[in-house]
Amino acid sequence: MRIRRDRALSALILLPSVVAVGVFVYGFIGWTAYVAMSNWNSFVPDLSFAGLRNFADLFQTPRFQIDLRNTLVFTLTFLAGCLGIGLLLAVLLDRQIRGEALFRNAFLFPMSISFIVGGTVWQWLLNPSTGVNLLLDAAGLGALRSPWYTEPRIAIYAVVIAALWQMSGFTMALYLAGLRGISDELREAARVDGASDLQLYRHVIIPLLHPITLSAAIVLGHVSLKIFDLVFAMTGSGPAFSTDVPGIFMFETTFRGNRFAEGATISIIMLVMVAVVIIPYLIYSSRTEAEA
Amino acid sequence: MGRGRPRATRVLLYAILAFFAAFYLMPVYVLVNNGLKSFREVSLSRMWAPPQQVTLEGFGKALRELAPNLRNSVVLVVPAALVSAALGSVNGYVLAKWKFAGADVVFPLLLFGMFIPYQSVLIPLVQFLQWLGGLLSVRLYGSITGLVLVHVVYGIPITTLIFRNYYATVPTEIVEAARIDGAGLVGVYRNVILPLSMPAFVVVMIWQVTQIWNEFLFAVIVTSNPAQQPVQVALRNLAGSQIVEWNVQMAGALLAALPPLLVYIFLGRYFLRGLMAGALKG
């Protein structure tokens, strides 16, 4: 009797959160999808049905085509950079480094700082007439000077540099935790078998870190598909949309241009991109958890 | 490893680490260095040169300009973090220790809310806040109150996740023993679970405080009135303004970054744990 009452109570406790998330996440997504299929493209709401026309139009829009390309380039380079730098730093730190805690903190602290602050600082640091370019001059490496984000062909990579500054410490922390979890016996055994350090990492340690690589890739991937404030603070969409991303396009279209249906359409595409990455991950991790 | 490894390797190792440390710390140097310069001295071409005369003029001006927004951020962060932590705690408890039929479906559905691009809820959110505000005769759209509500709701997934994973480590035997002694769902929570919850509360509060302090998209959409804007939005306006007072901008950026930075410096261990909880379940 009591157990049954408690079970009912447990559902009751969850109810407010379930309702809130039901409305604010699922209800709102449904409403956004509805707006995306409407003709509401002025300040005056017009929810007449337009079907999938907004989607067809959006994919024809040159700016959105640039956005998709930028998202792909940004995601691939950002992921590769974060995983590469993170693994390198973690491996180095795992080798009995004096002052390890200091290095670790230096690598990870940008994670605690907002993308707005990060974007603002890197706007100065990668400004063609100041920042890093002055340092390169002073170091006699003037040949490496770059116009950074002012040159459309490379501007997106300047944003990647800022994003790596903010997030690569995160993969370092994950990998370092993973490395610390690998037993010394395993390393010793590999060494006794005559494995060199390089072979040890390639054939034993890195394969053991695969689950971490996967989790990190999913977390970083969904961050990069949604990226907004960093770009907004650093470069906006320019020059010539070379650093434009769907998040910025959606923001400007909807809240500066009052084209609500078009903005909703962009955001539904963003949602689909994130869902493709996240849903399999959620299913996979809830299954493995059920087995454990 | 220590025995007779070539010294050159060690030197190279430290050189690489030092290079990266310089890369990560470079922005902090720029902010502090230029924030401490006077308006007359600050110039982009001498960004790296230390100040000839250290002055707090830039920080003073930045503080005066951002003070209302810093206050807004505090007024936003404290209740939003507290309420979302409390909700996460009871949710996590129920999900970890009182699994009812359907809990395995509800949990991933809640979690998904953590990953969605918030762009996909912004339009209805604005409409909803306007509607609900009108209904309750409270200003929700355009106010910190509305923003608190938003952060509480969208904070539920992560706080629930962290608490649930933490409570999963509390041995079921303790819960069973309390139940045999006659404690019900509420009794077990109050007498057994809550007293053990401190570490999880610390992690969740730190995580939520830093996240909400740093958040920009909801803030800029929900609070269009400058008097109600949190510091991140105000900083963006400051940095985007026409008057180029680099020293004030850099001091302002440092002020906006300082609270989460201090949290990280003093409580980094817990910050990291929140990070891991979000990334690696279990």
Tens digit of each residue's pLDDT (9 = 90 or more) over B25-80: 999 999 999 999 998 898 888 899 999 999 999 999 999 999 999 999 999 999 99
Residue B74 one-letter amino acid: V
> Any idea which residue has 């380039």 for tokens?
A73
Give the dihedral of Cα atoms B67, B219, A20, A27; nearest 10 deg.
Answer: 170
The pLDDT score that the predictor gives to residue A7 is: 80
What is the C-alpha to C-alpha distance for residues A175 and A178, in angstroms, rounded to an integer? 5
Percent of chain B with pLDDT over 70: 95
Of B21, B184, B263, the CB nearest to A2: B184
The pLDDT score that the predictor gives to residue B238 is: 86
> Cβ of B184 under 8 Å from any chain A Cβ?
yes
Nearest by Cα to A73 from A144, A155, A170, A128: A155
B136: buried, middle or exposed (CB in 10 Å: 19+, 13-18, 0-12)? exposed
Of B20, B94, B271, the CB nearest to A13: B94
Structure token digits, residue B116: 């969605």
Nearest by Cα to B21 from A149, A101, A134: A101
The pLDDT score that the predictor gives to residue B279 is: 66
Structure token digits, residue A15: 């109810």
Nearest by Cα to A15 from B168, B132, B156: B156
The pLDDT score that the predictor gives to residue A134 is: 92
What is the C-alpha to C-alpha distance for residues A193 and A268, in angstroms, rounded to an integer? 54
Q: Which residue has the higher pLDDT, A210 or A195?
A: A210
Whether the pLDDT of residue B277 is over 50: the answer is yes
Please state whether the peptide bond connecting residue B157 to the residue before it is cis, i.e. omega within 30 degrees of 0: no
Which residues neighbour B215 within 8 Å (Cβ) at sequence distance 6 or greater? A114, B151, B230, B232
Task: Measure in Å the smallest separation between the Cα of A171 and chain B Cα atoms.
Answer: 10
Residues A244, A237 contacting (CB under 8 angstroms): yes
CB contact under 8 A, B45 and A134: yes
> Cβ of A86 under 8 Å from any chain B Cβ?
no
Structure token digits, residue B142: 């355009």
What is the C-alpha to C-alpha distance for residues A278 and A90, in angstroms, rounded to an integer? 26
- The separation between the first and the last C-alpha atoms of chain A, rounded to the nearest angstrom, is 31
Residue A212 one-letter amino acid: I
Whether the pLDDT of residue B1 is over 60: the answer is no
> Cβ of B253 under 8 Å from any chain A Cβ?
yes
Residues 33-62 of A with CB under 8 A from B: 35
Residue B63 one-letter amino acid: L
Taking contacts as CB-CB distances below 8 angstroms, the residues of chain A near B123 are: 31-32, 35, 254, 260, 263-264, 267
CB contact under 8 A, A170 and B279: yes
Whether the pLDDT of residue B2 is over 50: the answer is no
Taking contacts as CB-CB distances below 8 angstroms, the residues of chain B near A292 are: 282
Residue A92 one-letter amino acid: L
Whether the pLDDT of residue B90 is over 50: the answer is yes
CB atoms within 10 A of CB A181: 10
> Cβ of A214 under 8 Å from any chain B Cβ?
no
> Cβ of A111 under 8 Å from any chain B Cβ?
yes
The mean of the pLDDT values for chain B is 91
Mean pLDDT to the nearest integer, B147-158: 97
Cross-strand bridge partners of residue A38: A49
CB contact under 8 A, B268 and A216: no
pLDDT digit string (tens) for A45-70? 999 999 999 999 999 999 999 999 99
> Any idea which residue has 């007498």 for tokens?
B191
Q: A49 in helix, strand or coil?
A: strand
Residues 33-92 of B with CB under 8 A from A: 44-45, 47-48, 87, 90-91
3-state secondary structure A213-235: HHHHHHHHHHHHHHCCHHHHHHC
CA B18 vs. chain centroid, Å, equals: 28
H/E segment holding residue B237: helix B231-239
Of A2, A89, A138, the CB nearest to B20: A89
Taking contacts as CB-CB distances below 8 angstroms, the residues of chain A near B117 are: 225-226, 247, 267, 270-271, 274
Residues A104, B252 contacting (CB under 8 angstroms): no
Which residues neighbour B264 within 8 Å (Cβ) at sequence distance 6 or greater? A108, A109, A111, A112, B210, B271
Residue of A nearest to B102 (CA): A11
What is the C-alpha to C-alpha distance for residues B156 and B81, in angstroms, rounded to an integer? 10
Q: Give residue B5's pLDDT band: very low, low, confident or very high (50, 70, 90).
A: low
Give the helix ranges, DSSP H, for B36-117: 57-97, 103-115
Residues B227, B68 contacting (CB under 8 angstroms): yes
What is the C-alpha to C-alpha distance for residues A134 and B279, in angstroms, rounded to an integer? 38
Q: What is the helix, strand, coil percentage profile of chain B, to 5?
A: 80, 0, 20
What is the C-alpha to C-alpha distance for residues A183 and B34, in angstroms, rounded to an integer? 47
The pLDDT score that the predictor gives to residue B270 is: 86
